[in-house]
Amino acid sequence: MKHTARHHRTALMSALVMALSGHVSVVAAAGNASSPAHSTQKAKVAHMTSESKTRVASLLKAIETGESGPVSAINPNKYIQHNLAVADGLSGFGAVLQALPKGSARVNTVRIFQDGDFVFAHTEYDFFGPRIGFDIFRFEDGRIVEHWDNLQPTPAAPNPSGRTMTDGPTTPGDLDRTDENKALVKAFVDDILVGGKTDRLAGYFNGDDYRQHNPNIADGLSGLGAALQAMAKANVTMKYARVHKVLGEGNFVLVVSEGEFAGQPTSFYDLFRVEAGKIAEHWDTMETVSPQSEWRNANGKFGF
């Protein structure tokens, strides 16, 4: 018999209460062989990576379905929250779920990646309104202990090149070049977005072949240039001040930065796809950092 949305929501809230009481069982991590062969170790790492991604995807989907099982991915004794509108711990997560109108949430995770202990996801939400979000989860001993996110309202229409904020490739390639691709993207952000060294811009791209998913910018360096000119004419400034984290899997690299947009403190999450040693595609979200007087936790927006 199919459960109702109310039943699932109640089950999820019950799971949160149980977790806070320490009664949710821990999902066992893969065991360690005493002297594993190299191929066995690679298979184990691949399994753990796949498992962590699956657990994150299930936890996010539970916001919509109300399923209780995925809550066991979170360590009830240590859950550090960096969404400034949410209190620390499972109690903070539960309070947000309780505030949602029944049956209103929708969650569609479009792409998900892992870099060591970090899993990061790119998701379409209808969560107090339609939004596009990046979520980062940190795992410790097989369970989630920390969360960051960056959310932006979903635009009403595609960008000037007909692209949405989430369409495009989803599967990472060039897995053996992760570190190289992270270094390339980090250098681009440091040189261009933070350092303003525009004379180096062309070296990071294959001519004008650059797919753009920012809702206000067209494809190519030409589209980026036109957008920057329009911003300057409107006296709208954008400044990247500091890079906090660079995460990657294969040819996808996420950069978390802070700075200012239109005079407001802003969190920038930029996802890049690298192709043959050049930046080929870009997705992003920008979120204004709220005043500290409004924070529901003391962890800060970044805190890596």
DSSP string, 78-96: --EE--TTS-SHHHHHHHH
Mean pLDDT, rounded, for 236-256: 97
Residue 96 phi, psi dihedral angles, 5° rounding: -65, -45
Kindly indicate the confidence band of residue 49, based on its pLDDT and cuts at 50, 70 and 90: low
Q: Is 274 exposed, middle or buried (0-12, 13-18, 19+ CB in 10 A)?
A: buried
pLDDT at 76 over 70: yes
Spatial contact of 116 and 134, defined as CB atoms under 8 Å apart: no
pLDDT at 150 over 70: yes
Spatial contact of 241 and 228, defined as CB atoms under 8 Å apart: no
Q: In angstroms, rounded to a whole number, what is the distance separating the alpha carbons of residues 41 and 35?
A: 10
% of the chain beyond a pLDDT of 70? 84
> Which domains are assigned to the chain?
5-23+44-153 (3.10.450.50), 175-294 (3.10.450.50)
Kindly indicate the confidence band of residue 32, based on its pLDDT and cuts at 50, 70 and 90: very low
pLDDT at 5 over 80: no
Nearest to 188 by CA among 263, 119, 265, 257: 257
Average per-residue pLDDT for the chain: 87
- Looking at residue 66, what is its pLDDT? 87
Q: In angstroms, rounded to a whole number, what is the distance separating the alpha carbons of residues 254 and 246?
A: 6
Structure tokens at 150: 């960056």
Q: Which has the minimum average pLDDT: 92-106, 130-144, 234-248?
A: 92-106
Q: In angstroms, rounded to a whole number, what is the distance separating the alpha carbons of residues 101 and 249?
A: 36
